[in-house]
Amino acid sequence: MAIKRDFPVFSERPGLVYLDSAASSQKPSVVLEALDDFYRRHYANVHRGIYQLSEEATRAYEGARAQVAAFFGAGAADLVFTRNATEAINLVGRTWGDLLEPGDQILVTVMEHHSNLIPWQQLAGRKGASIVWADIDDQGRLDLEGIARLLEAGGVRLVAVTQMSNVLGTVNPISWIAEQAHRAGALLLVDGAQSAAHLPLNLASLGADFFAFSGHKLGGPSGIGGLIARPGLLEEMPPFLGGGEMIREVWLDRATFADPPQRFEAGTPAIAEAVALARAVTYLDTLGIAELWKAERQLTERLLDGLDALGLPCFGPRGEDRAGVASFNLPGIHAHDLASFLDLRGIAVRAGHHCAQPLMRRLGQAATARASLFAYSDAADVDALLSALAEAKAFFA
């Protein structure tokens, strides 16, 4: 309850039970104030002006880069701001990916979000590379032997895997995968769109070569996210989009390019959003990510126990490697009908394929309803959902 007070939407809309944080999180007032303050007092374009205001804006933007990078245990020079995790992954596909050769393999898993799948299909199409994929077991955990086997075959250049499934809630053993990938001479890209808002992270020790995240799932604004690369890796990569900011010197027929991270940030960036994202991560730091994860684990158990007690089929593993995401169905009724029923009671859940159609096919489901948690979620939210589901069960019986 205490944390909810920091998020204005819950006082503006009393009775809202918001259980769709895996899609996007609500915003704490400190983030809204940071946006407002920046636009009121410090706004100008960055990396251009000689004047004081532009100096201030540049300092705030680059300061935000350092704070956000530090939150993930990385250095500022290794963080490229993007619109979101999707753009970060596409950036890798369109730059580092240019170095692939025909016949190279990209290893993905059946639990990937479309954003960590389509860019690789596109890359494979352009370069004559191919996609190989790892399965999950019946609990919704990755088939690690399968991954090891695919890597041993020797053709894999990149492993692209989510750290936390947006459907199953599975937390994947990234350090182990990193070790296997590197031993096989492949790089590892981690889709951190879900995990960044939940897990205590230290990229220096995680072993990922690339880490993609979205700000809007962390309590930050939409339109800002980032790509963090292993130190030195960005240096080797050609530019992404062309334009202002990313150049060193330009002639009519050719150009040289800026050092990273500017090399990958063409055009005026999302300046205020970057500043507000930095405020969001310092807010999460104040709450304590490790504390939040502990609380989320407890609340997840309450939710999963409740779904079990109602006899609803629910996907994903039970245990310490399970985040606060629960995909479930009410037998005999489609997830959209269930979500509408819950909506009438002020309960917001996602329903559909969750941008993970291959996984839905693997689970044999056309759609599921999904409840997901964030820092502000509490027992009252979970209990409201469970009691509405009990009602739904009777209604649709």
Partner 1 sequence: MSLLENLYREIVLDHYRHPRHYGPLEGAERFPGQNPSCGDHLVLYLDRQGDGPLRLAFEAEGCAISQASASLMADLLTGTSADRAAELARAFIATLHGGSVPEELGDLAAFSTLAQLPARIPCALLPWTTLLSALSPDRPAADPAAP
**Contact residues for partner 1, defined by CB under 8 A:** 333-337, 340-341, 343-344, 351-353, 357, 360, 366-367, 395-396
CB nearer to partner 1: give 270 or 351.
351
In Å, how far are 14, 58, 343, 385 from 86, measured between CA atoms?
33, 25, 28, 30
CB nearer to partner 1: give 198 or 353.
353
In order, the DSSP letters of 334-388 are -HHHHHHHHHTTTEE-EEE-TT-HHHHHHHT-S-EEEEE--TT--HHHHHHHHHH
Q: Which amino acid is at 87?
A: E
CB nearer to partner 1: give 217 or 350.
350
CB nearer to partner 1: give 100 or 367.
367
DSSP 258: P
Which residue in 381, 380, 362 sits closest to 371, CA to CA?
A: 381
In the annotation, is 314 catalytic?
no
Q: Which is the catalytic residue, given 355, 356, 363, 388?
A: 355
CB nearer to partner 1: give 32 or 333.
333
Q: How far, in Å, CA of 371 to CA of 386, rounded?
A: 11
In Å, how far are 18, 174, 235, 298, 306 from 376, measured between CA atoms?
9, 27, 39, 14, 19
DSSP 282: H
Instruction: Kindly state the smallest distance separating residue 339's Cβ from partner 1, in Å.
Output: 9
CB nearer to partner 1: give 29 or 121.
121
Please check whether residue 217 is in contact with residue 192, taking contact to mean a CB–CB distance below 8 angstroms. no
Instruction: Kindly state the smallest distance separating residue 162's Cβ from partner 1, in Å.
Output: 20
Q: How far, in Å, CA of 278 to CA of 34, rounded?
A: 9
Q: How far, in Å, CA of 70 to CA of 203, rounded?
A: 10
Per-residue buried b or exposed e for 320-356, using 16+ beta carbons within 10 Å of the residue's own CB: ebbbbbbbbbbeebbbebbbebbeeeebbbbbbbbbb
Instruction: Kindly state the smallest distance separating residue 276's Cβ from partner 1, in Å.
Output: 29
Instruction: Kindly state the smallest distance separating residue 197's Cβ from partner 1, in Å.
Output: 25
CB nearer to partner 1: give 366 or 379.
366
Instruction: Kindly state the smallest distance separating residue 139's Cβ from partner 1, in Å.
Output: 24
Instruction: Kindly state the smallest distance separating residue 366's Cβ from partner 1, in Å.
Output: 6
Please check whether residue 217 is in contact with residue 187, taking contact to mean a CB–CB distance below 8 angstroms. no
Q: Which amino acid is at 310?
A: L
Which residue in 150, 280, 163 sits closest to 221, CA to CA?
A: 280
**Token pair 């300046």: residue:** 271
Instruction: Kindly state the smallest distance separating residue 367's Cβ from partner 1, in Å.
Output: 6
Residues known to be catalytic: 355
